Structures are given as C-alpha cells and as structure tokens.
Amino acid sequence: MTEFEAVIGMEVHAELLTASKMFCGCPTTFGAAPNTQVCPVCLGLPGSLPVPNRRAVEFVARTALALHCEISPRSIFYRKNYYYPDLPKGYQVSQYGDDPIGRNGYIEIVVGGQTRRIGIRRCHLEEDTGKLFHVSPQTSEVDYNRSGVALMEIVSEPDLRSAEEAREYLVQLRAILTYLGVCDGKMEQGSLRCEPNISVRPKGSAAFGTKTELKNLNSFRAVSRGIEYEIERQVAVIRAGGQVTQETWRWDETRQVTAPMRSKEFEQEYRYFPDPDLVPMVFTPDWVQTQQESLPELPRQKQLRFQEQYGLPAYDAQILTETRALADYFEAAAARHADAKAVSNWVMGELLGRLNAASLDISESKVTPEGLAGLLDLVANGTISGKIAKDVFEEMFVSGKAPEAIVQEKGLTQISDEGALATTLDAIIAANPKEWEALKGGKEQLTKFFVGQVMRATKGRANPQLVNDLLKQRLAS
C-alpha cells in the first residue's frame, strides 16, 4: 500500500503586547465590557485616520530578526477589502505582496533527535477585527474592543511533515514570542492563534496535494489532535479513490473531529491596494542593527547553553526553555543547588506536574526557586528522604512555606539513629516470624517488605539506606 506523508504550513496570528491598539490610543486589556475600548479611529467613524503604533512595528521587526528574516527596507500597509459587520471600515489594514516587515527566515526545531529548519515566508503586521455574536436568529451584536488590536502574522513555508513537527514548531515559535515579550502566547485566550494548511502526498512525491486549512485550534493538544485527524482523513479519502477538496475545516473540540466550514473553490476578491492614509515604514540598516544587537538570548541559544553549562540532556533543555519564565526559574534554582540534573528533574516532574494540574503559570508558583533549591539541599545532606521530600514539596506548593520550616514543624527529619532503628526493626522481625524465615531461606523479595514496614512504623522518616544495612547485618549473623 502507498505510504503517505503530510505537508504542513503554519499561519500564526499573535496578538502583540502593546498597551494600545495598532492605529489609535485605545487600551488592549482583555475582557473589558463590550465596546468600552473604542474611539473614532477603531470604530472606523467617517473622517478618522490611522496613526501607526511604533511599538507594534518594532515588535514585529524584532520578531522577524529573531526568526532570521530579512527586513524590508521599505514596508507598506495595504487595505484588504471585504464586508463583514465586525470590520468597521469595510477593510482591514494588513500587509500584502513582497514587502512585509520580515521575510525569508527560519525556525530550528528538534524532533526525534533530528534538527530541522522550517522556513518562514513572511512576518507582518495587521489589525484585528471586532467580534460578532449571534444572540438570537433576529439579533447579532458586535463588540469592537478587539477592533484595531495589533496582530502579527507569521507564515511558514510548507516544510512541516507531521503533527508532531507542527506542534514543536508552534512551541518554539511561542517560546520566541514570549522571550521577546511581544506576545503572551496564550492560545486558550486567543492571543496566539494558529491555522495550519495541510495536504498529503505519496511519500517521495515532489508535487503537493490539495490542501485544506484548519481552524479553531485553541490549545497545543488541539493542534496535535486536529492535524493528526486531518491527515488521517485526507489519506482515507485518497485511499478510497476520492479527492481532497480545497476547503476550510474546523476542529470540533468536543467531538474531537474536523468538520468542513466553507468551500474555497473561488478565491475571495480582497482588492488589496496600498493604504493611502499611511506612509511606508522605512527601516534603516542602522536601526535594524541596533534591534538585532538588543535581542535577548533566544530559546534555541538557551537550549544549547543549558546542555553545555548544566550538562542537561537535550530533552530537558528543550522543556526548560519553552518559556523564559521557566528557564529563569530553573537557572535561579540551579544557582543555589549544585546538582542541576536534580533541579531539572524536580522542575519538569513535580513542579510542572502540579502547576499543570492546577492550571497555574510558573509565575504563580508558591514554590520559589530558593525554596526548591533548599528542599533539594535537605535531601542531599540526608536531613530528609526523597520520599518525605515529595510530601514537603506538596506542603510548599500549597502554603508557600520554606522547606526547613515544614520539616521542623512536622518533625520530618530523617531518623539516622542506628539504635532507634534497630529496635524498630527487631520488633518487626519478631512480629513477622514466617516472613523472616522465608527471607533467611533466600526469598530476597522480602527485603522490601521489611524496609517498608520500618518506613511505615517511622512514618517514612527512617533513613532507608541505614535500614537496609541493619537488615543485612541481621541476615548475616
């Protein structure tokens, strides 16, 4: 049977973290009452004129540089004309043609141990639309708070070959955006939206298949699942002798399937033309160089440094650098506790696990990097056992107390007093003569039983190494 491969290109819209909108001074705060963040400009009132937000232009140029793009020396705003009630001017100010702010860049991703470069076709600036709500069959309402919010569009080349690669591309892109501080990357709130276009072709074929566009992917999970589903669907269509049609499909989160939205048989006529209300953006080489030099350390650079400096595996480095906040957290803890791998294990395991379960961001963690380092110190110097450490962590996570204080308060210090542990062990041996005989007879699995009984009797505080040693002594005698 023919094997198929997927060809995926990503179109990502990132809402910029500017305090005001793209062409007016209105605030961009999320969740304000409808139509309270509007003015003549973003309502498109007659006579109003747009004035570009310099910060937004700078954000896009910096992102383009971080994506290894060329910066167009002269970049133009175009009008994209179409009618929709959420579009107050009857056109959207966007960019078009061969002079977006950035073009011809790439992102490096690592999937399955393979490093791949995914091409970036363009990186440009545009404005968001309002939001239309159908409140009843007779009534629709429009909220223009989002109208005119600065959006960055990043379009990749169709270089991605699997849902996993697409997800990793998005993870890396989001990391870059959050590192630069240009977007908060919150997919669930819609500040980062991705619309992949997907086609399949027989493996080895150079020609592209017919692509579909996928919308409504509001989480990384939805991105993976949606793309996987769409690839399988297309392969099934072709295997059944059918043809994929060029359409937009929508990911249905509750049913976990894709469903067709509208046919794209004829291209919509947008009548793009340069916006005469706006003057070209001119980027001088000096300005571009200044921006380039002031870029922060980016996720990929940080990953490589983490591997080098802390001796971490690539996998750890990748996860720890997904957000700047997480990377900073790790580095702060690693600066206080010498065993970087142990820090990495605890951050990736306990900390991220608990944060995800509680839907919290790293910035909301009550466990500080100092606290985590302190906890690991207590384990390393034998004050508490690894098992107790997990309980202490849980308490830290909930209350935010320092680990030393918790250990003190609850008397969790490890029992390393040989005499006390020997007494406990002997009592347990006396109470379980059958098991003891079996162990002596060579049933070594019972070692665990006796150590476990001691741990239970000491509420986990017994030094497990010491208990093991005592047990061996008694078996040998």
Partner 1 sequence: MAELHTLTAHELADQMRRGAVSAREIAEATLARIAAVDERVKSFVTVTPEAALAQAREVDERRARGEALPPLAGIPIALKDNLCTRGVRTTCASKILDNWEPPYDATVVARLRAQHAVFVGKTNLDEFAMGSSTENSGLFVTHNPWDLSRVPGGSSGGSAAAVAAREATLALGSDTGGSIRQPAAFCGVVGLKPTYGRVSRYGLVAFASSLDQIGPMARDVTDAALLLQAISGSDPSDATSAPVAVPDYMQALRPEVKGLKLGVPREFFAQGVAPEVEAAVRAAVDRLVALGAEAEEVSMPHIDYAFPAFYIIAPAEASSNLARYDGVRYGLREPASDPTTMMERTRDAGFGAEVKQRIMLGTFTLSAGYYDAYYLKALKVRTLVKQDFDRAFERFDLLVAPVTPTVAFAIGERANDPLQMKLADVCTVPVNLAGGPAIAVPCGFHAGLPIGLQLMAKPFAEETLLRAAYTYEQATDWHLRAPAL
- The CA-CA-CA angle for residues 305, 152, 22, to 5°, reads 125
Between 163-180 and 220-239, two packed helices, what is the crossing angle to 10 degrees?
150
Sheet containing 78-81: which strands, arranged edge to edge?
Answer: 91-94, 78-81, 273-274
Residue 214 · residue 226 · CB < 8 Å: yes
Residue 88 CB, shortest distance to Zn ion, in Å, is 10
Q: Which does 427 bind (CB under 5 to 8 A by kind): partner 1, Zn ion, none?
A: none
Q: Which does 88 bind (CB under 5 to 8 A by kind): Zn ion, partner 1, none?
A: partner 1
20 touches partner 1 (CB under 8 A) = no
User: Which of helix, strand or coil describes residue 110?
Assistant: strand
The DSSP 8-state label assigned to residue 88 in this structure reads T
Q: Which does 373 bind (CB under 5 to 8 A by kind): Zn ion, partner 1, none?
A: none
The DSSP 8-state label assigned to residue 141 in this structure reads E
Residue 77 CB, shortest distance to Zn ion, in Å, is 17
Sign of the torsion formed by the C-alpha atoms of 341, 345, 346 and 348: positive
Give whichever of 31 and 47 is closer to partner 1, judged by the CB atom.
47
Residue 11 · residue 194 · CB < 8 Å: yes
Give whichever of 81 and 307 is closer to partner 1, judged by the CB atom.
81
Helix (H) or strand (E) holding 179: helix 163-180
Look up residue 379 and give its two tokens: 């384990």
277 touches partner 1 (CB under 8 A) = yes
- DSSP β-bridge partners for residue 14: 152, 192
Q: Which does 42 bind (CB under 5 to 8 A by kind): Zn ion, partner 1, none?
A: Zn ion
Q: Which does 40 bind (CB under 5 to 8 A by kind): Zn ion, partner 1, none?
A: partner 1
Binding map of partner 1 across residues 232-271, x = CB under 8 A, - = no contact: -----------------------------------x-x-x
Look up residue 18 and give its two tokens: 């500017």
282 touches partner 1 (CB under 8 A) = no
Look up residue 353 and give its two tokens: 């696990």
- From CA 238, how far away is CA 245, in angstroms rounded? 11
Q: Which residues in 36-65 contact partner 1 (CB under 8 A)?
A: 40, 43-52
Q: Which residues in 68-87 contact partner 1 (CB under 8 A)?
A: 79, 81, 83, 85
- The CA-CA-CA angle for residues 119, 120, 125, to 5°, reads 175
Residue of the chain from 4, 59, 91, 283 that contacts partner 1 (CB under 8 A): 91
Residue 140 CB, shortest distance to partner 1, in Å, is 6
Residue at 48: amino acid letter: S
Give whichever of 203 and 271 is closer to partner 1, judged by the CB atom.
271
Binding site for Zn ion (CB under 5 A): 24, 26, 39, 41-42
Residues that bind partner 1 (CB under 8 A): 40, 43-52, 79, 81, 83, 85, 88-91, 138, 140, 142, 267, 269, 271-273, 276-279
